[in-house]
Structure 1
């Protein structure tokens, strides 16, 4: 979660020909999904949605793509089916694998309607005719064909609701593990870039852009684990810690583009879920 620039198989249940033209309500809902996913943090450098944001990792340097509705350089002309396949399977309309710097391993947990609404919002934005920069990756990570095998090991829907928990907790769990993709930065990765889910949320010393990403799972309550529920909500809303400091680094972008734009109910839901990690 500390980094929305980060490292998201299911059957596509909605084909283009079966989807009506986007209604204003779909665009409005899509804007909220856009904010929940922190899309602006990764895809806006100089011009909105035009990409070009640099992401330095142990595997090389990635550059975010243009996701404006430009038909040549962006996603203009993509069908809903193609968009959903990209979001859930990490596959382009041309059949090319996307690198997991695009967090489709989290977006695979998102329901179809959220994705359709998101596309409706993106389609309603201004197209930007700007080409996407090429990644600069080390061998063997520059061999895109290897991603097919990587996905077999690392991509599957993992989020399910827990009937033993409250509606708020389940909503927070979905936001954290789906569109918010918090584990993409707060969870360490193995030597091939897969998330080490058995130690999820314990922090990541090799975070994006070299950041030392702190732990959200802090059962010793040495840092985040000692925060009260209200402390978490306050930090999500305005970016201030219990000590009076402001969250810095890329977490400041998370507050600006994501959590600070959530409804009070969703902020409380995320806080409830994160608090439960250290207070089961």
Structure 2
């Protein structure tokens, strides 16, 4: 019995050690951003394409107030309620004291400056496909935004989902850096893929998830229940979205559908962001959507 107990303890310790090793946060190699210098003008386009203000502006902010990234918006999900943090350049309550390397680790790898995992409500699985130069440009733009002294609020995530160390396992399962749509893409389709799969993180809302919250890449952009349990995000694969490329461009510019209905919900923020990009980018997204495999 004593040997059996010792063996059990050894197995338990070994299992815990393996879990601790496999789930440790993995920051980016310093070489990823070494020598990069950000350009705020280019970073403004990255900011809008990535939808940063849509989640991190204060609740009900309008106009120029959307650029004050004070956080506070609440996002309900089956795993708890996530509250967007302050990511303004305030050095105390925001991210004003972060280096480019720390910023890139957060955005692209989901690792905090303290070396902890971020929850994947922050779409770093998509942003991880971004070009490091775009991330440097994004930081340069965000550094010039108005600071806010509003403290970030803690997420309301119950046990066991609040065990951040377990997110290392989630990243191994679902944090793939592979593109979903592959093949011989045109230049426009390739640009559209970058905007939709990386910066725009369209799959985060439009793709169904499994029980662990991972995206079902076999049903890419096929629609999904809204995380808060109210309503559904539509299928935007060619099986359901029969708009022409011109229709898609017009929608991303004006918010009006071909049937003269108007955009609503969180998609209104997406349209507002994409309307600020060059028309060539909206055309690229439209071309990409036509290459997405149709899913009934």
TM over 0.5: yes
Q: Which runs of 4+ in 1 moved over 6 A?
A: none
Whole-Å Cα distance in 2 between the matches of residues 58 and 145 of structure 1?
19
Question: Cα offset for 1:263?
Answer: 0.5
Question: Cα offset for 1:193?
Answer: 1.0
Point out which structure has higher relative CO (alpha carbons under 8 A, 6+ apart): 1
Change (3 A) 1:15 1:245: closer
Aligned position for 1:84: 104
Question: Cα offset for 1:239?
Answer: 0.8
2:158 to 122, 125, 138: 138
Task: State whether structure 2 residue 272 is matched by structure 1 residue 265.
Answer: no
Aligned position for 1:6: none
Question: Cα offset for 1:161?
Answer: 8.6
Structure 1 segments unaligned to the other structure (5+ residues): 1-8
Whole-Å Cα distance in 2 between the matches of residues 83 and 208 of structure 1?
29
Task: State whether structure 2 residue 261 is matched by structure 1 residue 245.
Answer: yes
Task: State whether structure 2 residue 54 is matched by structure 1 residue 36.
Answer: no
Whole-Å Cα distance in 2 between the matches of residues 209 and 262 of structure 1?
31
Equivalent residue of 2:192, what SS?
A: helix
Question: Cα offset for 1:62?
Answer: 0.5
Equivalent residue of 1:217, what SS?
A: coil
Equivalent residue of 2:184, what SS?
A: coil
Aligned runs of 1:1-280 on 2, under 5 Å?
10-15=28-33, 18-19=35-36, 22=38, 26-45=39-58, 46=61, 48-159=68-179, 164-208=184-228, 210-219=230-239, 221=240, 224=241, 226-256=242-272, 258-277=273-292
Return the TM-score normalized by structure 2: 0.83
Per mean C-alpha deviation after superposition, the further-off stretch among 155-164 and 143-152 is 155-164
Question: Cα offset for 1:275?
Answer: 2.2
Question: Cα offset for 1:207?
Answer: 3.4
Structure ID, larger Rg: 2
Q: Is the 8 A contact 2:36 2:133 kept in 1?
A: no
Q: Is the 8 A contact 2:238 2:290 kept in 1?
A: no
Question: Cα offset for 1:164?
Answer: 1.9
Give aligned pairs, total.
Answer: 262
Q: 1:122-165, CA deviations, whole angstroms, 9 ceiling, x for partnerless residues? A: 11112111111111113221222211111111112123895722
Change (3 A) 1:97 1:214: same
Whole-Å Cα distance in 2 between the matches of residues 13 and 160 of structure 1?
26
Equivalent residue of 1:61, what SS?
A: strand
Whole-Å Cα distance in 2 between the matches of residues 278 and 198 of structure 1?
9
Structure 2 segments unaligned to the other structure (5+ residues): 1-26
Whole-Å Cα distance in 1 between the matches of residues 144 and 260 of structure 2?
39
